[in-house]
Amino acid sequence: MINVYFAAGQALWPKYEGPLRAALAEAGLQADVGADCPAPDLVDYIVFAPGGEIQDFTPFTRCKAVLNLWAGVERIVTNQTLTQPLCRMVDPALTAGMVEWVLGHSLRHHLGMDRHIINPTHKWDPTCPPIAAERAVTVLGLGALGQACAVALQGIGFKVRGWSRTAKAVAGLETFHGDQGLQSALTGAEIVVLLLPKTPETENILNAESLAWPARGAAILNPGRGHLIDDAALLAALDTGAIGHATLDVFRQEPLPAGHPFWAHPRVTVTPHVAAETRPNSASRVVVENIRRGEAGLPFVHLVDRSLGY
């Protein structure tokens, strides 16, 4: 019998109990899964989310892998007691949700929808935007989510460039990497999408210097991590018109405090961390696939590289 400890928090267990049991049955795995911890030295797999039930992983001496329910692992990867393999969540439904959010808001800014939706003076403005092929979009971050969004943006015609910390080749996509490649990737971009993990190297990647590189009046879309942007620098760039609008889904503090300047700024749209969410049905199948692999002696998928932090 495989022992699976759902340590992602008691509040999530009712949502995941049925999907996890169904996915285990579909995979033909005999497993005891629950949110009540058995003896730690009997646990084979831990399903986890930051803020869950475990701070010290040391007692889980038999555990073969910790399976994170979130795509981001920055709140767990630095835990010195975590010596077991750590796998992040790459969920097809989460990816689909992110692609939809990015496409929707990219098209909103590309087409200038706001001036028609919010038009209190009833101004008749027949100005047409360029077509997508004439609009430069840069995606910062070329992991699973970044690549999916870049490909989708290309699919409707945008001129897309991608940037990552280390070199990555994506078919049909102009890519840049490293500190020197960042300016090349951002220069002239009219829409910038941030889909990077939070690491010491990516924190404040958009700052007073780099916010000057996109085209004047560019739109910033951040469904990645709040720490990727220097908030004060962004507000200053919005005030001068260097950046035309920022649509932000993630923040340094969540929920975003009521008095934060983002709420009242006319060039900021706040969405409440809804760009992508882990869905229990599809996420459970991802978790169970790694359990199946562990039991079969196969390599885990979506394994975190501790040296990179993701």
**CA atoms of 238 and 230, how far apart (whole Å):** 12
Our CA angle for 310, 185, 72, nearest 5°, is 20
| Alpha carbon separation from 267 to 4, 115, 238 (Å, rounded) | 47, 12, 7
- The tokens for 132 are 């997508």
**With contact defined as beta carbons under 8 Å apart, do 4 and 44 qualify?**
yes
Write down the catalytic residue from 177, 273, 293, 306.
Answer: 273
273 among known catalytic residues: yes
**CA atoms of 164 and 85, how far apart (whole Å):** 24
Write down the catalytic residue from 225, 227, 285, 302.
Answer: 225
Sheet strand arrangement including 218-222: 174-177, 159-164, 136-140, 191-194, 218-222, 243-248, 268-270
165 among known catalytic residues: no
Greatest alpha-carbon pair distance for the chain in Å reads 70
**Phi-psi region at 101: left, alpha or beta (left = phi > 0; alpha = psi -120 to 50):** alpha
**CA atoms of 26 and 21, how far apart (whole Å):** 9
Point out the residues that are catalytic: 225, 273
